[in-house]
């Protein structure tokens, strides 16, 4: 399957310090390979990761694709990062304090951190990163959170103080952006800077080489402030086809990749495979949904939306499309996160209940084709989705078949991504869309659900409008008090489950596989990438 560039644009917030963003669930299931030989962490060797897309620029501020951020995440640091349990902890900042009123955050940098070229990291670099991000001339997608900043100062070379107008919960996480080297960029045009192809950062790996379309090579930063990473080289090999990548994995050409559900479930179960590789599985930070255009008369009635959800068998979708590698979604928060409300009652698969709801809404009679009819109009609509995503197409087809049994005639239309956005989504010219959201660690979802965000190009394109949700969204983002936030988001999930503006379908699992010679991989709520610097290869198994 070819993954289109457009598909990769479906990213909400990107936190580049995480290679495999994931979330909490107790039964994270590593499939252990051979018994770990008794060996002490050794340095040396290379880790080769297969990547479908090539990075576009290694100045992360300018990049909007996941591949660029994945590589940049090894080269740069933010002031803060998420730890393995998805708590925000200091990164370049040794510590940070939030004032009692929630309006001021003070970051204290680790002293003695140097850039890869030897220059010291100071608060000047942080100020520069902030200024260049909000500079109207910088073509970046990441200015929004920083625009909430009222004032930023650097009392000394290791301290930064940021003030906001009102408490803003996503603010702390927004300082996870990669800090850029002021001494190399200040006063220069960032869009033509050579750093986009030869970056200089503070991170565990330093840039070595980039061969376009083939590979990006990073080397261990021996002076890394948290200690050098064990593995000497980190190599990204660009292999745009997932079948090819899988064969490269089997042939030993790469050490790490993400499997597709069918590869995970069917093609990697043999002993000969599990002896050589460790497979991991945990929920990804995304969910697939069907969004109803609420401006359309057909979907104005919530009973109709509830009926459609009741007519869809989500378990069947997970089995059929994901080979069981996923779980049902019933709200916009991935299970296991602190903001996830487990008590929300999901609408279960029940075609009879669906028929009752439809009858209540006036869709009682069926025509000769078995399609529901009201005032002479048959019940039919089109599910619109983007080209190039086989899983979405298969999901839509199963949904189509299920809805047919309750008397709804569904068509599927596949549109190429650019046209999909411009002609359909942004113009509100659709009935139902099938799309996925990649979600950030912070539960703030103001941009997707607030009623003010329904203009062309904004993300509440289904036109959802609920006064209580609007209020709760603001409440949730304007406090750092986690209990208050939790209450707000719990209630939002209850409302969304009742209103069904989306039919939330499923949360697919992330399925990384790592060569068994790489040791120290420790799956956690944050995935497997959180302790990459501590991964190692025993001396007698090193191959590069």
Instruction: Kindly list the residues in this chain that would bind another protein in the complex (CB under 8 A).
Output: 2, 4-6, 9-13, 46, 48, 56-57, 62-65, 68, 136-145, 147, 191-192, 196-197, 212-215, 235, 237-241, 243-244, 247-248, 250-251, 253, 416-423, 425-426, 435, 445-448, 455, 457, 459, 544
What is the spatial distance between Cα 126 and Cα 234, in angstroms, rounded to a whole number?
27
Nearest approach, Cβ of 14 to another protein (angstroms)? Answer: 9
Cβ-based nearer residue to another protein, 61 or 162: 61
Cβ-based nearer residue to another protein, 407 or 508: 508
Cβ-based nearer residue to another protein, 70 or 357: 70
Cβ-based nearer residue to another protein, 173 or 406: 173
For residue 321, with 0-12 CB atoms within 10 Å meaning exposed, 13-18 middle and 19 or more buried, which class applies?
buried
- Within 112-157, where are the H helices? 123-134
What is the spatial distance between Cα 457 and Cα 453, in angstroms, rounded to a whole number?
9
Nearest approach, Cβ of 133 to another protein (angstroms)? Answer: 11
* 188 contacts: CB under 8 Å, gap ≥ 6: none
Nearest approach, Cβ of 360 to another protein (angstroms)? Answer: 35
Cβ-based nearer residue to another protein, 137 or 345: 137
Nearest approach, Cβ of 146 to another protein (angstroms)? Answer: 10
Nearest approach, Cβ of 218 to another protein (angstroms)? Answer: 13
Q: CB–CB of 395/314 below 8 Å?
A: no
Nearest approach, Cβ of 373 to another protein (angstroms)? Answer: 34
| Dihedral angle of Cα 355, 356, 357, 359, to the nearest 10 degrees | 80
Cβ-based nearer residue to another protein, 63 or 126: 63
Tokens of 407: 């008397």
Q: What single DSSP character describes residue 96?
A: E
Cβ-based nearer residue to another protein, 271 or 345: 271
What is the spatial distance between Cα 256 and Cα 309, in angstroms, rounded to a whole number?
37
351-360 and 302-311 helices, crossing angle to 10°? 160
What string of H, E and C letters represents the secondary structure of 212-249?
A: CCCEEEEEECCCCCCCCCCCCEEEEEECCEHHHHHHHH
Nearest approach, Cβ of 209 to another protein (angstroms)? Answer: 8
């Amino acid at each position: 399957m070819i993954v289109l560039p457009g598909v990769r644009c479906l990213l909400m917030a990107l936190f580049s310090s995480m290679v495999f963003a994931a979330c909490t669930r107790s039964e994270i299931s590593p499939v252990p390979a051979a018994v770990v030989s008794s060996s002490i962490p050794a340095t040396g060797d290379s880790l080769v990761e297969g990547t479908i897309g090539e990075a576009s620029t290694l100045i992360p501020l300018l990049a909007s694709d996941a591949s660029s951020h994945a590589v940049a995440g090894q080269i740069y640091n933010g002031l803060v990062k998420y730890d393995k349990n998805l708590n925000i902890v200091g990164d370049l900042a040794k510590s940070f304090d939030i004032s009692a009123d929630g309006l001021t955050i003070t970051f204290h940098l680790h002293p003695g951190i140097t850039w890869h070229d030897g220059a010291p990291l100071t608060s000047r670099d942080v100020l520069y990163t902030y200024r260049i991000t909000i500079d109207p001339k910088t073509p970046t997608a990441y200015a929004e959170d920083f625009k909430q900043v009222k004032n930023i100062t650097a009392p000394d070379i290791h301290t930064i103080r940021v003030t906001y107008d009102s408490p803003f919960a996503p603010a702390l996480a927004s300082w996870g952006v990669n800090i850029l080297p002021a001494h190399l960029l200040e006063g220069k045009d960032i869009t033509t800077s050579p750093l986009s192809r030869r970056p200089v950062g503070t991170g565990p790996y330093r840039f070595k080489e980039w061969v376009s379309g083939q590979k990006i090579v990073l080397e261990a930063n021996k002076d890394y402030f948290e200690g050098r990473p064990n593995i000497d080289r980190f190599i990204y090999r660009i292999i745009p086809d997932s079948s090819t990548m899988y064969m490269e994995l089997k042939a030993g050409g790469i050490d790490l990749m993400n499997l597709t559900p069918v590869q995970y479930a069917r093609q990697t179960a043999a002993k000969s495979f599990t002896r050589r590789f460790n497979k991991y599985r945990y929920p990804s930070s995304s969910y697939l949904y069907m969004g109803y255009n609420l401006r359309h008369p057909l979907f104005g009635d919530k009973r109709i939306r509830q009926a459609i959800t009741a007519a869809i068998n989500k378990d069947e979708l997970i089995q059929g499309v994901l080979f069981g590698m996923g779980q049902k979604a019933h709200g916009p928060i991935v299970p296991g996160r602190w903001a996830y409300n487990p008590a929300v009652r999901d609408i279960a698969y029940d075609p009879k209940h669906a028929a009752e709801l439809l009858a209540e809404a006036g869709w009682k009679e069926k025509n000769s084709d078995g399609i529901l009819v009201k005032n002479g109009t048959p019940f039919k609509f089109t599910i619109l989705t983007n080209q190039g995503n086989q899983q979405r197409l298969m999901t839509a087809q199963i949904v189509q078949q299920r809805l047919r049994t309750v008397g709804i005639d569904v068509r599927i239309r596949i549109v190429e991504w650019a046209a999909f956005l411009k002609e359909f989504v942004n113009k509100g010219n659709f009935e139902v869309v099938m799309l996925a959201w990649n979600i950030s660690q912070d539960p703030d979802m103001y941009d997707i659900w607030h009623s003010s965000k329904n203009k062309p190009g904004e993300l509440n394109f289904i036109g959802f409008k609920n006064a209580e949700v609007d209020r709760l969204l603001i409440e949730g983002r304007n406090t750092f008090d986690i209990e208050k936030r939790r209450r707000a988001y719990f209630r939002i999930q209850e409302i969304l489950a009742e209103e069904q503006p989306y039919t939330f379908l499923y949360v697919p699992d992330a399925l990384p596989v790592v060569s068994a010679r790489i040791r120290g991989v420790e799956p956690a709520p944050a995935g497997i990438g959180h302790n990459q610097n501590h991964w190692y290869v025993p001396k007698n198994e090193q191959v590069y």
